[in-house]
Structures are given as structure tokens and as C-alpha cells.
Amino acid sequence: MRVTVLGGCGAWPAAGESCSGYLVEEDGFRVLLDIGYATLPRLLHHVRAAEVDAVLVTHGHPDHCADLNPLLRARVLGDSAVAPLPVHAPPGALDAVLALDGPRMLAGGLVAHDLAPGAPREIGPFRLDVFDLPHHVPNAGLRLTGASGRVLAYTGDTGPSPDLLALARDADLFLAEATYPERVPEEDAPYLSTAREAGRTAASAAAARLLLTHLWPDTPAEPALAAAAASYEGELSVAAPGVTVDLG
Ligand SMILES: [Zn+2]
């Protein structure tokens, strides 16, 4: 399983950056986890639009799903006929981004599936387990298990939750929202996380690698890395375009 970071900015893309988007590949199958602002041009450095096999969107904020619109445009308006794209998202999460074009424009471009906790589902070679995590809007934590048995756990955007431990348990890679290094402003404290908390969860869950993501735009990586390293001793880095992690 290989994970390629397309972007890691929270909220909006800083100069030359992109918001949340991760390309996950195994056995030739390509799934995107989130597709936020400015991720499509980066994706197209790696694969053609027609080569994406599925998209999983954690929640409906545009820093996680805005570039679904240009991805669908590239597939529908491009030269060759492409099968409808399976897109999994919490109910209603895609309403706004899909309304950017009239219904005829992208007709047949996608097949939408609701994401919710429950029985695991199969996405190509992956098993997907979904966790309902606290954010301003419904947010699906995603745990992908590859055919190889490798596990990628991704929080989306989340406040503190006991379910994070189950999401990240023994993961080969824990991709964790860490908007702030040490402290979330009070009004957002139930809905966002810190690097310090991500480090604690990664340590408790015995995750093999921790990749911090969704840092506030234009903030340096070092304070986030230091906060996470206070409790986590494994392999630790910050998500940025071009970072690739091979999970074997
Ligand atoms: Zn976000």
C-alpha cells in the first residue's frame, strides 16, 4: 500500500500549497481520501483523472471536497468515455460541491454512496471501516485495510473522541488532523485536534507511523512535531505535497 500526500493545509491552501487530499494505491487500485482545494492539479502529476477508481470524502467542508468538481469535469469533459466515479461521503456532504454545475453537466459522472458506521465495506482491494467522529458537520473517520493487511487510519477533522483509539489501533500509518500544536481555541475545542493529542493517541494505539496533517496555513512544522513527540516515539512527520509513504 502506498500513500501519496497531495496537500495538507487546513482551512485554505497557503501559497503553493493544497488542502487535504491523499492518494492511496494498492494492486493498481487508486482511491482518494478527501479532495480539498487545489489537490486536483497535484493529483494529475501522478495519475490521469480517468485512472481514479474511487473517492472517499470524510466531510462536506470544501477544504476536503472542493476539487471533486474539477475531477468530475476532467472525467466527463475529457476525450475518452470514463465509467461513473464511485464517491463515498456522509449523507448530504456533497450537495454544495455538486451544485457548482447544473445536473446535466456532470450527469453520469459519479455514483454517490453514503458513508456511515456499520458493517465494513469493500472498496477495490481495501476493507473500509467507518467511525463517526465529532466535527462541526458529520465527519467519517476512515480505516482502510489493504489486501496485504496494512492499515491506514485517517481522522478527517475531529475533536477528542474515545473512538480515535479504535480507529488508529495498530495502524501502519495514522494520518491525524492536528490543526494546532498545543491548544485548540475554546469555541472549536470539541471539533478539532492538536498535535499533542495526535501524539498521545498514536502512542496509546501503538500506531507504527504518525503523519500530522491539516496544520493551520503558514504555520511551521516544528512546534507540531515537538508537541506530538512529547508522547509518541515512532516515525513522525508532517503531511506536505509530494510526501510518499510506502507501507509495504
Ligand atoms: Zn478541514
Domains, in order of start, for the chain = 2-246 (3.60.15.10)
Residue 89 bridge partners (DSSP)? 114
CA angle 20, 21, 25 (to 5 degrees): 155
User: In terms of DSSP H, where are the helices of 31-162?
Assistant: 40-46, 62-65, 68-77, 95-98
Q: In this structure, what C-alpha cell is assigned to residue 97?
A: 460541491
Tell me the torsion sign for CA atoms 233, 238, 242, 248: positive
Q: Kindly give the distance from the C-alpha atom of residue 213 to the centroid of ligand 1, in angstroms, as a whole number.
A: 10
CA of 100 to the centre of ligand 1 (A): 20
CA dist., res. 152 & res. 175, Å (int): 7
Ligand 1 centroid distance, CA of 184 (Å)? 14
| CA-wise closest residue to 135 among 99, 184, 181, 182 | 184
Let me know: does 46 contact 71? Beta carbons within 8 Å.
no
State the DSSP string of 64-94: HHTTHHHHHHHHHHSSS--PPEEEEESTTTT
Q: How far is the CA of 145 from the centre of ligand 1 (A)?
A: 24
Residue 153 CA to ligand 1 centre (angstroms): 16
8 Å CB contact between 11 and 216: yes
Rounded to a whole number, what is the largest CA-CA distance in the chain? Answer: 52
Output the pTM of the full model.
0.97
Question: Measured between alpha carbons, how far is 80 from 82 in angstroms, rounded to an integer?
Answer: 6
User: What's the pLDDT score for residue 103?
Assistant: 84
User: End-to-end alpha-carbon separation of the chain, Å?
Assistant: 6
* pLDDT of 1: 97
- Residue pair 55/35 in contact (Cβ under 8 Å)? The answer is yes
Residue 79 has a pLDDT of 76
Which residues fall inside 5 Å of ion ligand 1, going by CB? 63, 157
How many whole angstroms from 79 Cα to the centroid of ligand 1?
33
Residue 73 CA to ligand 1 centre (angstroms): 23
Taking the centre of ligand 1 as the mean of its atom positions, its distance from the CA of residue 81, in whole angstroms, is 33
The pLDDT score that the predictor gives to residue 28 is 97
Q: In angstroms, what is the span from residue 176 Cα to ligand 1's centroid?
A: 12
Mean pLDDT for each consecutive 10-residue tract of the chain (248 residues)? Answer: 98 97 98 98 97 98 98 91 95 97 89 94 97 98 97 98 98 98 97 98 98 97 98 98 94
Instruction: Cell numbers for 59, please give them.
Output: 466531510
